[in-house]
Amino acid sequence: MSRKLTAATLALTVAGGVYMTAGSAQASNMGFKLERSFKVERADPLNAGTPFQNIYMLSFPLFNGLGDVADSSFPGATSKCVGDTLGPLAGDGVINSTDAICDLYTDRGVRSSFNFARFNRDTCLFEVNGAANGFSGLTFGGSIFPLERDAGFWITVASQVVPAPQNRAVIVGSHDPSYTGRQIRVPASNCVPRQDLAQLVYHSLYTHANEILCGLEGVDWFDVNADGNPDTCTAGIFDGQAGHLIAVLTFDNINDSSTETIDNQFTPRTVTRSGLTGQLQFAGSNFSLTPGDAYLIGIPPTHVTTTYVSPHF
């Protein structure tokens, strides 16, 4: 995965930034504008029969600038997006998963589908709200859910159209300086899979997977022996216990033959501590982190709760 972010794609505005939400959002002096594409990727761009899995994991800013652009209860087999033909004239006063679909599914005018999901870490199930443009036009279905502000979201797209839909979207919002982090924990019911979708703040100082696991390089840990692994791991999501293997995963949906991650696959980075030697053991690629992406966390069954919070500039 080789997506590069430049000043044109990620705009950080200090003192007078992008404030699309009311109330406490004004406490932040850091605003964001991120251009993203949730395209239907293929091994052969001109062959609809060679699709990738087309999985994207998304982070919104803590103060989400998403507008009230949908009416989730709008009747009839038509669009629920404000401004669409035969769609609602105004939003419903609630910002939820349907608004996210209307904002991000920008190529909904062509035959395609767009599923927007969250992972409920207390039931260990995905909850999916989706839309599709098919033979009967644009339809919505699935479970409508609120947008948990520090969780990541899971998007899948599909289409047989050539050229493929791009779903180019602009995400805005701002930071909450009072944010204290997200608990990485075993579900109370101990259901499986024990997972979480973790947000990455847009102006994070973390640059690689090792830092989600162990904390900020050069501050919380060092790599004195230059083996590519942290010498200590006490400030990230790892609980430090022997035999407790925790994983952070990304999905590479970019067709670029990258080597750091593998096209159309999940890439994990894991850490545990040997019960015999007490030494830290790392495995998998220490992949680069990308603002706007979310990351899947695989949690061991006896994990001691840790707090995931990224330092930022």
**Whether the Cβ atoms of residue 249 and residue 267 lie closer than 8 Å to each other:** yes
In sequence order, what are the residues at sequence separation of 6 or more whose Cβ sits closer than 8 angstroms to the Cβ of residue 53?
A: 156, 251, 253, 264
**Percentage of the chain with pLDDT > 90?**
86
What is the average pLDDT across 192-197?
98
Q: How many helices (H) and strands (E) does the chain have?
A: 2, 16
Distances (CA, A) of 87 to 66, 72, 132, 141: 19, 11, 15, 15
Angle subtended at Cα 241 by Cα 262 and Cα 287, rounded to the nearest 5 degrees = 20
Closest CA to 295 of 47, 59, 14, 13: 59
Pairing of strands 125-134, 112-120: antiparallel
Residue 165 DSSP class: P
Closest CA to 179 of 197, 196, 203: 203
The Cα–Cα gap between 2 and 182 comes to 28
The Cα–Cα gap between 257 and 302 comes to 37
| Model confidence pLDDT, tens digit, residues 207-237 | 999 999 999 999 999 999 999 999 999 999 9
Residue spans per domain, the chain: 10-174
| Model confidence pLDDT, tens digit, residues 239-257 | 999 999 999 999 999 999 9
Least confident of 28-32, 135-139, 154-158: 28-32
What pLDDT, on the 0 to 100 scale, is given for residue 76? 75
Q: Is residue 273's pLDDT more than 80? A: yes
